[in-house]
């Protein structure tokens, strides 16, 4: 969708079968790659939740700090969604490293015949 400001809103779904952990993590890795590229091009995530906390920590520290301050005012006992975004200790570096390795392992598994290449999409963004 393109809104009035000519900004694009991209909704990403990665349907997977979580019984196949390698495919599940690889799909998360691809999503992460797209989100990082969006930030590098001046975009941002549309919603904030536990899954997007790593991007807030890396790219939107001020917004995360304001969110934490507001959360402390409104819900000082952390009853609603306890320990999610506010107290998350997820490291962007660790997650980024894990997802990067997951993409490598997935490609290797496909070459060795241990996994199937379900859908190949080559994303190239020109500025």
Q: Each residue of 54-68: pLDDT tens digit?
A: 888 888 889 888 988
Q: Which residues of the chain have pLDDT under 70?
A: 1-6, 18, 83, 86-89, 116-127
Q: How many CB atoms lie within 10 A of CB 106?
A: 20
Mean of the per-residue pLDDT values for the chain? Answer: 77
For residue 43, is it within any domain?
yes
For residue 75, is it within any domain?
yes
What's the number of domains the chain is made of? Answer: 1
For residue 125, is it within any domain?
no
In the DSSP assignment, the letter for residue 125 is -
Q: How many CB atoms lie within 10 A of CB 53?
A: 21
For residue 122, is it within any domain?
no
pLDDT of residue 33: 85
Which burial class, exposed, middle or buried, applies to 76 when counting CB atoms under 10 A from its CB (0-12, 13-18, 19+)?
exposed
pLDDT of residue 73: 92
For residue 95, is it within any domain?
yes
For residue 11, is it within any domain?
no
For residue 59, is it within any domain?
yes
Q: How many CB atoms lie within 10 A of CB 60?
A: 17
Domain that holds residue 54: 21-111
For residue 35, is it within any domain?
yes
């Amino acid at each position: 969708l393109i809104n009035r400001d000519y900004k694009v809103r991209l909704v990403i779904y990665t349907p997977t079968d979580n019984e196949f952990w390698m495919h599940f993590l690889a799909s998360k890795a691809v999503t992460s790659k797209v989100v990082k590229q969006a930030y590098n091009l001046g975009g941002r995530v549309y919603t904030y939740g536990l899954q997007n906390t790593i991007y807030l920590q890396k790219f939107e520290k001020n917004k995360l700090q304001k969110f934490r301050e507001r959360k402390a005012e409104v819900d000082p006992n952390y009853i609603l969604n306890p320990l999610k975004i506010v107290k998350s200790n997820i490291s962007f570096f660790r997650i980024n490293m894990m997802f990067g390795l997951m993409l490598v392992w997935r490609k290797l598994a496909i070459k060795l015949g241990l996994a199937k290449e379900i859908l190949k999409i080559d994303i190239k963004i020109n500025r």
